[in-house]
Structure 1
Amino acid sequence: MGAKVAGKAVGRVGAGVVGLVFSVPELVINCSDVNKCDSEASVNLRKNATDMRKAADQMEKELLQIRKIFQRLVEVRCQIETRKRSPDDMQRLLDFAMENCTDKAVRRWLGLNAESEIFSKLVEMFQVLKEEMDKEEDKNHSDDVDITFVAHGVITDTMMPASCLLPLPTVSDVVLYSPWNCNLEAEAAYGVATGKIKLSHRRFCCSPGCRTPGKKHRLKNVPDNWNSMRAAGNLNIPNIIVSPLKIPEDGKWKGIEVLKVKQQKPGRTRIIIPFILPSTDPKERISLPVVTLALSLVLMFSRFQATLHLAVCLGKGDKVMNLDEEALKQQYACTIDYTGMASTERMLASTLQAIRSSIKNMFSRNSSLESQGSAHVRLSKAFKAAFR
């Protein structure tokens, strides 16, 4: 039984079922002793009573098993909500998350690549997210939420199934925006985070250190969709390694940002999570499937299901590594070295227009619009600082 299903079922196991467990044995005893005779009816009745006793014993075992599941769910939830965890608590969190992965290949990969202390820190970061989401519970929000994860990133020549990024059903999809071996420029990253970027806004250019003419960075066959990991299924992709953003001295990153983006469906919220772990070495390199596993675990104890949008660079971690570029082109697209994906002036123009509108609204009575406008201005500066 899945943990989330069990969680929903806990309210349904009430006094009626428990009463049934206690009343059935008594009924069985009465039926077994009926008349103490050997008539055909009494023999059949005693046989039925024996069958009922076996069924009652089996039901009791199943209820005890359900009880153990509920007890473990309570323990895991307490461990998630606790800031100070022992090494054993950290390992139990990781073990529980991996046990709930239905894909054997994902479990095997995570078993070799996940580390309990880093996983624990990621859980703590996403728990802060959940607490922010819990504040919205009384509002008319959809159960589906868009989360943008902003971090530094590279790809390696180690391949893995795309399904490793979707270990639990609470994360329904992971969406990548730049092609493989392509960096994400600041304005494009801002467009991804805010949901403003469109396919027509893509512009490919040279990244710092490039000695190749700019025209050669243009893709001949540009995909007409973003790169969905759910659609990729079990196709192999490069392992994506993320590392924390540097905490800027000017405080442009103010933790989790919640934006009401106009392009979103009514009631749907976009949440921006800058990957900042103060207690972690800024040079820490973490495999993305470990990040999505931590997010999935935390969301198991909420009503939300997330689509994760990735605002990271997907360039090579080492320029001399060998990538199967043809396979990556078949999966989505792959660029030459030192290619960056920026945005066209059209996206920047629409963004500036949104900011100007927000500034005008600062003088109105709508304080939420004012805060959203200032958030967009602050975030655009933050992306320039993080991706330069």
Structure 2
Amino acid sequence: MSDLATSRMQLEELKKRMVILRNILRDDHFLQITKSSEEKNQLMKLAVENCTNQTVLTWLRANSKSNTFTKLVDMFNFLKTHVVAEEKKDHSDIVDITFVAHGAIGDFMIPASCLLPLASIRDVVLYSPWNCVTCGLAYGIASGRLKPEHRIFYCSKKVGCTVPDQMHRPKNLPDHWNSMKKSGDQMIPNITVSPLRPDDGVWKSFESLREKYGPPGRNRIVIPFILPGKEPQSVSFSVVTLALSLVLLQSRFKATVHLDACLRDRSVGQKLDREYLEKQYSWAPDETGMKCSSDIFSVSWIDKIKSMMY
């Protein structure tokens, strides 16, 4: 057989192998999608079976097939890894979980109770007024030290804003945080969260304070929304709390969830009803930022935290 004929046969054989490989990869991708869909359906079924709030139950059933919950399986697996690791530590069965992420609000409203889909989540607490960004709150929230009297409002836009810092403080600001349990079935903006980035400094700031002042303490769990090696994608916070409630359902924990994330208005269609949201909780002027005062790191407080650790 000539060299040319041999080369042609080898080329044809290579083409056949490429077709086989392509089909294998396509079938594997199909199987992964099918498996993920089945897992999502199982999680949604588990949620419906354990939900006792009729408003949340109706919402779950109405949205179970929507794109809203496409990332439910990924969030469930991500959060399960953290919770399983914390179960091995000396926590009691009632814990506080601080979820640290980037965030925004907009586009549509949901009942506040939908952030507490199952009894495994006792409450969800928001720290930022609506339409407000945050800066450096994670350690104060996670340690339980941050109180309403520690909040400082400022202009988050370095140039171009004509409103002085003191005018960025929201009017009629409540002397408490925004509890979703107390809000009940009131409508709130849909919150979306996205992962932290290595270059944003958020987690580095938390780690720096933790190294300086010690860990947040017993019964306090911190989950940074960090997905190594993956493109940052936003997900509805309601998906996070649903996934977390399902993870907690299979653990020994019940938790109050604290969200450290910006809540700036990013709606692109019809704007959110500012007047309504001012009555629901509080609304911040555009380009408003919130940070904590330095006195939360007072010597007396640090001594108190250390005494709780030993």
TM range (shorter): 0.7 to 0.9
One-letter code aligned to 2:74: K
Counterparts of 1:74-223 in structure 2 under 5 Å? 86-110=36-60, 111-112=62-63, 113=66, 115=68, 117-136=70-89, 139=90, 141-186=91-136, 188-208=137-157, 210-223=161-174
Structure 1 equivalent of residue 176 of structure 2: 225
* Distance in structure 1 (CA, Å) of the matches to 2:129 and 2:200: 32
Q: Does the CA-based 8 Å contact 2:107-2:267 persist in structure 1?
A: no
| Contact 2:139 2:216 survives alignment (8 Å) | no
CA deviation map 1:136-170 (0-9, x unaligned): 3xx4x422100000000000041111000000000
Shift of 1:294: 0.4
The aligned runs of 1:234-383 (5 Å cut-off) are 234-247=185-198, 252=204, 261=216, 268-278=218-228, 280-282=230-232, 284-318=233-267, 322-347=271-296, 349-350=297-298, 354=302
Equivalent-residue separation in structure 2 for 1:324 and 1:298 (angstroms): 34
| Counterpart Cα distance in 1 of 2:200 and 2:84 | 26
User: Amino acid of the residue matched to residue 244 of structure 1?
Assistant: P
Q: CA deviation at 1:200?
A: 1.1
Counterpart residue number, 2:26: none
Q: Indicate conservation of the 8 Å contact 1:150/1:193, yes or no.
A: no
The C-alpha deviation readout for 1:170-214, integer Å capped at 9, x for no partner, is 00000011111111112x333223322111111111112633222
Paired residues of 1:91 and 1:116 also in contact (CA < 8 A):
no
> What is the number of equivalent residue pairs in this alignment?
263
Cα distance per residue 1:62-98 (max 9 Å; x no partner): xxxxxxxxxxxxxxxxxxxxxxx54423332233223
Contact 1:147 / 1:272 at 8 angstroms: preserved in 2?
yes
Match of 1:71 in 2: none
TM-score normalised according to structure 2 size: 0.74
What CA distance in whole angstroms lies between the structure 2 residues aligned with 1:322 and 1:128? Answer: 37
What is the aligned-residue identity percentage? 45
CA offsets per residue over residues 32-66 of structure 1, 9 Å max, x none? xxxxxxxxxxxxxxxxxxxxxxxxxxxxxxxxxxx
**Deviation at 1:116?**
5.2
- Asked if the contact 2:107–2:268 (Cα under 8 Å) also holds between the matched residues in 1, the reply is no
- The one-letter code matched in structure 2 to 1:315 is R
**Shift in CA distance, 99/279, structure 1 to aligned 2, threshold 3 Å:** farther
Equivalent residues of 1:319, 1:337 under 8 A apart: no
Deviations 1:199-245 (A, max 9, x none): 11111111126332222212332211111100000111111011111
Is the partner of 1:96 in helix, strand or coil?
A: helix
State the structure with bigger RCO (CA 8 A, min sep 6), 1 or 2.
2
Inter-partner Cα distance in structure 2 for 1:198 and 1:115: 33
Partners of 2:280 and 2:299 lie apart in 1 by 31
Specify the SS of the correspondent of 2:298.
helix
SS at match of 1:306: strand
- Point out where structure 1 has 5 or more consecutive residues left out of the alignment: 1-84, 263-267, 359-367, 370-388
Q: Is the contact made by 1:194 and 1:270 (CA closer than 8 Å) also made in structure 2?
A: yes
Structure 1 CA distance, aligned partners of 2:49 and 2:285? 39
Unaligned stretches of 5+ residues in structure 2: 1-34
**Paired residue type of 2:77:** E
Contact 1:160 1:239 in 2 (8 A): yes
Contact 2:86 2:221 in 1 (8 A): no
The structure-2 alpha-carbon separation of the partners of 1:319 and 1:337, relative to structure 1 and needing over 3 Å to count, comes to farther
